[in-house]
Amino acid sequence: MNITYFVHGYLGLPIASFLISLFLPVKKEGALSVLSYSTAFLQLLLVCLFTGFWIFQGAEPIQFKEISVYRSENYDFFIDFLVDKLTLTYAFLGAALTFLITIYSRYYLHREAGYKRFFNTILFFNIGYSTIIFSGNMETLFIGWEILGVSSFLLIAFYRERLLPVKNALKVFSVYRIGDIGVILAMWLLHHFWHENVTFLQMNQTVSLHEHLAQNSSVGLLIATLFYIAAAAKSAQLPFSSWLPRAMEGPTPSSAIFYGSMSVHIGAFLLLRTLHFWENQIYFKVGLVIAGLLTALISTVISRVQSTIKSQIAYASIAQIGLIFIEIALGWENVALVHIVGNAFLRTYQLLISPSIVSYKIREQQYELQEAVVQKSAFDRWVDRYYMLSLKEWNLDNALFKWLWNPLKKIGRGWKVLNFRYIFWLKAFILLFGLILRANEALLPTEVKQRLPFFFALWGFLMAVKAFTERDSVRKSLTLVMLNHASISLALSFNAHFDNAHHIWYLSGILLAWALGYWLLTRMRKTEWISLDNFYGHIYEYPKTGFVFLLVCLGLSGFPITPSFVGEDLIFSHIELNQLGLAFFTAFSLVINGLATMRIYARVFLGPHVKNYHQIAKRSS
């Protein structure tokens, strides 16, 4: 069996099925479900056949380069695939569980209003998952990584007429964007570490790797730390553990496929894929063991005091993934793979039966009467405090808000000069000033020229923060996102080898998405009230507009549907290793842009409808 035929078949099946599902009528429930589980069954059959063939041929890793999307003198963005033991294990796991869950969903979601939307999203998720596990380099992995994040947002907000699912979807998406920072900056450092777009097999070449680590040990440790940030955010490890129970707002099948089995184990996949890069970095391995152990201990006690079945399962799964991280750190790759498969199947089973768990356990309830203790010992008081801390989930959710999101909101709201009256005039002046400096670059002193990229990147970062914290005008927030991208492009134009073609790659999709989004919002303002001070739920009466505006938001955030995704990776290839501040503000700007655009979409189109002739759903628990 040809390796290319296998990979093309495994990846092509969900892509073709997703495109077909978009055109199937809403009433064709049978066709939608058959298409979904047939796709998963064919993937399962394909991976089983190829695994046998692969083992018979010697079980050697196979890598092949698919296509170069963009190539220049010092840069090559190419799609690369890798098939090995890790790939096939995750491929079997994904196909088997998707097959089971889609069959279950066929009956569980029968006559549900979002039946078609659910299966569309599951197929879209399958595309992202398959792209990640077959990726042969970080660029290909990041394509699937972004698809996974968006499909997660859509499934958590599946019950979009309720407020809390939409708010929790935004919370989870915000944590995923933190993980995106880890991936983006790791890709940037790897460019400088190898001076090329490196593949995973190149990272595993021992001699070359030792030479690079000996010359840049601190950079190697930083890259490994960024891998952990990305993996921890995706797998709900400390300090990002609080998002997983919030993600259970979606339907039970999506909770099972995402947060019990497949998506939540992608962090472990990233660590296993990059294992040989950091396996000799003792400080990182010790830190990984400590982080995994703390996650396992804290999540275990939190799970024991939860009042809902899904929350108990979520924290129990987090604890097991913490142990998996420890196994990976100790180099027990095969043990970790067995543990991943076992945990995935167990959590899927537990989540699928969770709607019936009350009826299973109702006859086993026991009631105990305990006499009040007037005076408690020091140990009892310590246990009580530990219990209360676990009941509050160790304040992990509040900690993220206190140390990350609230400071950003304070920055955005504190810039009073950036109000609606002045901001665009000020921004136009800054951009015009930058273009004049760019045209007269040869006349600038070297020291000034070196500081200009940081200045414009910082200014763009403030634009992104202001867009994220805007509470009134939707069009203003959308325009600020576009202006942030313009500032980043201007900042990078002062670096070497960044020419006009790079500007086109980066800004073409951004400007098109902004123009379309601005036109849609202007048209809606003629008949509807839209703002960012509430959730308006306009998708009830404007479903097609809501879908197009979702594509606009994805385009503005540099999603793989536009050339701006390639442009984002391209601009980081031109940031020098000594420009850490520029890289940080650029990466953070891109992440906040994604949050700002999805926040606009959620507040305008999702949530309870503001018009009182629509039924208003009760708040979730």
pLDDT band at 598 (very low <50, low <70, confident <90, very high): very high
- pLDDT for the residue numbered 102: 92
Query: Average pLDDT, stretch 585-596?
Result: 90
Which range among 145-154, 291-300, 488-497, 578-587 shows the weakest confidence by mean pLDDT?
Answer: 488-497
What's the average model confidence in pLDDT over 98-106?
91
Angstrom distance (rounded) from CA 461 to CA 407 = 14
Confidence category of residue 89, pLDDT binned at 50, 70, 90:
very high
What DSSP line would sit under 2-43, residue for residue? -HHHHHHHHHHHHHHHHHHHHHS-TT-HHHHHHHHHHHHHHH
CA dist 409 → 417, 553, 554 (Å): 15, 21, 22
Report DSSP state, residue 137: B
The residue among 450, 428, 432 whose CA lies nearest residue 494 is: 450
Residue 602 pLDDT: 93
Lowest mean pLDDT among 174-188, 392-406, 467-481, 520-534: 392-406
Q: Give the range with max mean pLDDT: 70-79, 136-145, 377-386.
A: 136-145
Q: What is the pLDDT of residue 48?
A: 92
Question: Do 264 and 235 touch, CB atoms closer than 8 A?
Answer: yes
pLDDT for residue 396 is more than 70: yes
Tell me: pLDDT of 366 over 60.
no
- Of 308-312, 424-428, 613-617, the one with minimum mean pLDDT is 613-617
pLDDT of amino acid 620 = 52
Predicted local confidence at residue 416, as pLDDT: 58
* pLDDT of 156 higher than 70: yes
Neighbours of 169 (CB within 10 A): 26
| pLDDT in the model for residue 345 | 92
Mean pLDDT in residue range 151-170? 89
> Which residues, in sequence order, are CB contacts of 34 under 8 Å at separation 6+?
none
In tens, the pLDDT along 334-358 reads 999 999 999 999 999 888 887 776 5
Which of 100-104, 210-214, 308-312 is predicted most confidently? 100-104
SS3 category, 80: strand
pLDDT band at 144 (very low <50, low <70, confident <90, very high): very high
The pLDDT score that the predictor gives to residue 229 is: 94
Residue 370: pLDDT over 60? no
What the block records as the tokens of 579 is 């420009």
Task: Please give the torsion angle defined by the CA atoms of residues 251, 255, 257 and 258, in that order, rounded to the nearest 10 degrees.
Answer: 120
pLDDT beyond 80 at 443? no
Query: Residue 621: is its pLDDT beyond 50?
Result: no
For the chain, the helix, strand and coil percentages under 3-state DSSP, each to the nearest 5: 75, 5, 20
pLDDT recorded at residue 367:
46
pLDDT of residue 496: 67
Least confident of 15-24, 124-133, 154-163, 364-373: 364-373
pLDDT value of position 462: 86
> Mind listing the pLDDT tens digit for each residue in 6-50?
889 999 999 999 999 999 998 888 899 999 999 999 999 999 999
3-state secondary structure of 262: coil
Q: Can you give the residue ranges of every domain in the chain?
A: 3-355, 395-605
